[in-house]
Amino acid sequence: MGCVVESIPEPPAKVTERLIPLLEDPEPDTRRTAALSLGKIGDPQCIPALVSALSDPDDQVRQWSAWALGTMSDSLSEQALMALVQRLTDPSESVKQAVVLALGRTTIPEDLLQVLTEAYDISTMTTQRTIIQTLSHFEFPFSYSLYLKALQSPDPMTRQAAIAGLGELGNRRGLPILRTHLLQDTSVGVRSEAAFRLGKLGSSADVAALKQAMETDSTPNVHFWASWALDQIVQHT
């Protein structure tokens, strides 16, 4: 009989030091695994190496490098943020989506994130949805015009994210838009979101639209949120 001698786990800093050189390994699989592992560890010392890996010839290496940088959002320098922004023109949609999600976890300045307006116009529907969902976490005034553009999207999830973004902005000039989509949008999710946002932001001027939705919309979810919104408005007027 014998016993198993377990090795003492290496500290994260040591593991990070060993992983960083693997981002330049000849094998793409090794570079991908290294980027993924560095993101899971989250040691900021690897940020410069991950920024360099954003230019890797392999799509998945770039994707996982962007994701990894997003896990260390609080430690990113302006140079690292700028490197992420520049990848918004990446030819790979999966990379662009990873970049947008990473930027959404940061405290990026408004002027750097405005490039998303241009990125929206050249992106696929999936990435456009991700851009709008990301912007809805911020309250940048420039987002208003992009939300209006997104409300023309055939994708209901993009429209719902745009309605949520308008609500988060808290700009009352968006109330007529919320009322219109509450009563006319083909998506239950969009109509429900519009009712919810009217309950958060609306006033007595929105009561008629909410009552109309309760009377004419047979969808239980929309009926519930319209009723809730009416209660909220009554309580605050």
H/E stretch holding 157 reads helix 156-169
Helix ranges (H only) for 12-58 are 12-19, 28-41, 47-53
Domains (range + CATH), the chain: 97-169 (1.25.10), 173-237 (1.25.10.10)
Task: Note the pLDDT tens digit of each residue in 83-136.
Answer: 998 888 788 989 988 998 898 888 878 887 888 888 888 888 988 998 898 888
Task: Note the pLDDT tens digit of each residue in 137-189.
Answer: 788 889 999 999 999 999 999 999 999 999 999 888 999 999 999 999 999 99
Distance CA 74, CA 194 (A): 33
Distance CA 154, CA 184 (A): 14
204, exposed or middle or buried, with CB in 10 Å at 0-12, 13-18, 19+?
A: exposed
Question: Smallest Cα–Cα separation from 138: which of 103, 175, 179, 96?
Answer: 103
pTM summary value: 0.73
- Provide the sign of the torsion angle of the four alpha carbons 206, 146, 64, 79, taken in this order: negative
